[in-house]
Amino acid sequence: MKLIIQIPALNEQETIAEVIEALPRKVPGFTSIEVLVIDDGSTDDTVDIARRAGADHILRMGCNMGLARAFSAGMEEALALGADVIVNTDADHQYCADDIPALVRPIRDGEAKIVVGARPIRDNESFSPTKKLLQWFGSWVVRKCSGTDIPDAPSGFRAYSRDAAARMCVVNTYTYTIETLIQAGRKRIPMTWVPVRVNRVERPSRLFRGMGEYIRRSVATILRVFVMYAPLRFFASLAALCALPGIVGIVRFLGFYLSGDGSGHIQSLVLSSGLMAMAMVLMAVGILGDMIAANRSLLEDIRARDLLGATTRRRHDATILKLADAS
């Protein structure tokens, strides 16, 4: 089995060598381990330092495309390179590389297809009390939306089986962590988590400028992903919120009308009718969104088959070449 460890990097010349040198080169159950660095438009010496530190592959994005796009490109490249399991870790040396064998073990043993490394949030000195609270609350929201039990949703220290990696299709350009969890939960991909250790990181995150931006982007990502993968449920809930007061208003008007006092309550009838019309529009949008989601699911399945098929063909061709050389 081949394990590929991918590292999305943007201007990480200070830490990239330390990250690569800390990676294990032997993991139980794997005959080959390779390191893939995804250069997301770095303007410093990240690429040259990564090569000297022992990176087996460098994927250059050409310009800064964002973490989510770099992650997705890395997954596709790792699949093309014949990976059976893909581990994603950060270039800021936040995660302890010695925990990679524990991270991939559930996949190696067939217990799960995605494994998330859960950080010790409460004991992490790099996190402020506010950030710890937001991490806990955000992970709780993601668990509810995805139907999973992952305690650390924003963790980027993860392992994916070949099949799970091919089925991931990230649309968001900000970050992949929340979207892939909700997506995997909706697709019923087996997931689990393992506790991992972290290293102290001094520099601030480059994903967001402050806590306000982090909250805003995370909420927007959760809402967008939920609308994409559960549109009927989302819009039906909004339709119910509009329809219930509309029904109450209509019943109230009918009560006054039957008692002979309906002429003074036309305004409530107009408002209730507007709410009912809005509810019907929202329900129609939900039905259309559900049909679009079904088509997108089919397209994602086709994409996954193409990625896996290309990997299989490449392995087959490599096997034929080896046999030809041996003969």
- How far apart CA 24 and CA 100 sit, in angstroms, is 8
- Domains identified in the chain, total number: 2
Q: In the structure encoding, which two tokens stand for residue 18, read together?
A: 């330390």
Last residue of a domain, one of 186, 206, 227: 227
Last residue of a domain, one of 203, 227, 251: 227
Residues 167, 48 share a domain: yes
Domain span holding position 195: 2-227
Is residue 129 within 8 A of residue 169, CB to CB? The reply is: no
Whichever domain contains 110, its CATH number is 3.90.550.10
Residues 141, 24 share a domain: yes
Last residue of a domain, one of 169, 201, 227: 227
Tens of pLDDT along the chain (327 residues) come to 899 999 999 999 999 999 999 999 899 999 999 999 999 999 999 999 999 999 999 999 888 888 888 999 999 999 989 899 999 999 988 899 999 999 999 999 999 999 999 988 676 666 667 666 777 777 777 787 777 888 888 889 999 999 999 988 888 777 788 888 888 888 889 999 999 998 877 665 555 556 666 677 777 777 777 788 788 988 999 999 999 998 988 888 888 777 777 666 677 788 888 999 999 999 999 999 988 888 888 888 888 888 887 766 665 455 555 545 555
Residues 153, 195 share a domain: yes
Residues 257, 221 share a domain: no
- Segment (H or E) for 269: helix 266-326
Residues 137, 153 share a domain: yes
Residues 207, 98 share a domain: yes
- How many of the other CB atoms lie within 10 Å of CB of 87? 28
Residues 237, 172 share a domain: no
Residues 211, 176 share a domain: yes
Residues 253, 211 share a domain: no
Which of 116, 96, 94 is CA-nearest to residue 177? 116
Residues 158, 16 share a domain: yes
Query: What pTM does this model have?
Result: 0.78
Residues 117, 208 share a domain: yes
Residues 284, 137 share a domain: no
